[in-house]
Amino acid sequence: MARNRKKPFYEKVTIEDIGAEGKALARVGDKVVFTKLVIPGDIVDLQVNKKRKKYEEAFVTKIHKYSDNRVEAFCEHFGTCGGCKWQFLPYEKQLFYKQKQVEDQMKRIGKIDLPLIDPILGSEKNTFYRNKLEFTFSSKRWLTNIEINSDDEISNHNALGFHVPGLFDKVINIDKCWLQPEPSNKIRNFIFNFAINRGLDFFDIRGQNGFLRTLIIRTSSIGETMVIVTFFNEDNKERTKLLQAVNDEFPEITSLLYVINQKGNDTITDQETVVFSGRDFIFEEMEGLKFKIGAKSFYQTNPEQAYNLYKVAREFAGLKGTEIIFDLYTGTGTIANFVAHDAKKVVGIEYVPEAIEDAKENSRLNKITNTSFYSGDLKDVLNEGFVKKHGQPDVIITDPPRAGMHADVVQAILNIQPEKIVYVSCNPATQARDIQLLSGSYETKRIQPVDMFPHTHHVENVVLLEKLKLSS
């Protein structure tokens, strides 16, 4: 069974399940072994590369038999690109394992007696569903095994695409990405070919030099497009030629922007964005509401499914038009503005000041007058004085980042004691942890998983908590 190696080697092991973070799971004797890029029913050889007290991690060296549930991956970059890792799993099976993930985490981490969990809400689109992608220019592209083993000279080492998982300095050149609708692929390929033909320097991540650095493409459901090209060095002549060529080739682009970023990292949130043509924003629409999206604005990346997610949150809130709502981690105020029509007043709180300005602008844009927004650290803002000023909330809607809510924020909610809490989460594990902290005062009434990201293990989840009634 095991070869004479420092770390175990297991032959012909059957993959049994999918566990946390989408990892495939097998059992060898009393050992739990996690691996990747296989599915339940596959029979494989496993080489352990990490040993832990309670489990091992391994990589697949050979597949002896494929699962009957396996389907062919549709993307030519599958297995190298870090996205869409569940392509070989039928979509109905993806939904099954996401539902199971939510159930397991609620029971194991939340330690709560669950009500019936509503069946996961699948995404109508499972390709071309994203409205934003970020690509990296690299002078050291990832080479395939065929290229490495070939005797042919490799003339082009440039890439415009995604980072190879675990290798910060290697980028796979993307021909067709199945995540974002057109004109995304056409724009990226045009820019790549134009840069190659003009001999423009692609960015060297290790050496921190080059001309072309990153490309961000944003699209909206109403057909508007934003393109942001980030340059490392300023070269007015070449920058203008490139951007003008893009503008001429794609007159439908709503917003063509550029950034000069000479920092050590690719983030542009602290950089100046300059308009080359068009406006500095695009519009998204949802249920008749308009949302203004700038280069640095956050908006859910699957807009059609985000609409379904927010409808669930609104339904769980059970609004009658008389409620005061606190919207925690409000971001650009999407949920706050979405539910405002059905409430007396909505108060949004967010850590990022720029996001709060976007939230206010979105209220003004939609002539919504019963919202107010405040920036600051929630654990500091959400206090007795804040409640006294704005009124006792009937409902708190919270949509925190993956890390969940800070313990002080959970305690602040317990101090405020709203009648209902609607908890929206992109990480059911931290959500379950927070629900456990709230369980002494609140009962879990409804749970609705929502699939926002097909072909990945990620799942959103909405939970309704209601204040426990004191027994007489």
Query: What is the helix (H) or strand (E) element at residue 412, kind and residue range?
Result: helix 407-416
By three-state DSSP, how is residue 208 classified?
Answer: coil
**Cβ neighbour number for residue 86 with a 10 Å cutoff:** 22
Report the distance separating Cα 362 and Cα 402, nearest Å.
25
φ, ψ dihedrals at 327, nearest 5°? -105, 105
What is the sign of the dihedral through the CA atoms of 73, 79, 80 and 82?
positive
Is 84 assigned a catalytic role? no
Q: Are strands 324-328 and 395-398 parallel, antiparallel or unpaired?
A: parallel
Nearest Cα neighbor of 292 from 343, 368, 227, 357 is 357
Question: What are the helix (H) ranges across 119-254?
Answer: 145-149, 184-198, 236-249
What b/e string do you get for 348-381 counting C-beta neighbours within 10 Å, with b at 16 or more? Answer: bbbbbeebbbbbbbbbeebebeebebbbeebeeb
- Collect all residues with Cβ–Cβ distance below 8 Å to 84 and sequence separation of at least 6: 75, 78, 178, 179, 455, 456
Set 75, 81, 84, 426: catalytic member: 426
CB 182 within 8 A of CB 97: no
| In contact, 115 and 161? CB cutoff 8 Å | no
> Tokens in use for 240?
């203008």
Q: Which of 435, 345, 358 is nearest to 387 (CA)?
A: 345
- Please name the amino acid found at residue 372: S
Q: What is the largest CA-CA distance in the chain?
A: 84
Among 256, 161, 238, 236, CA closest to 200:
238
Place of tokens 């809510």: 405
Q: Which residue has the tokens 């001309």?
A: 211
Q: Which residues pair with 57 in a beta bridge?
A: 34, 50
Phi and psi at residue 169, in whole multiples of 5°? -100, 5
Task: Give me the active site residues, please.
Answer: 426
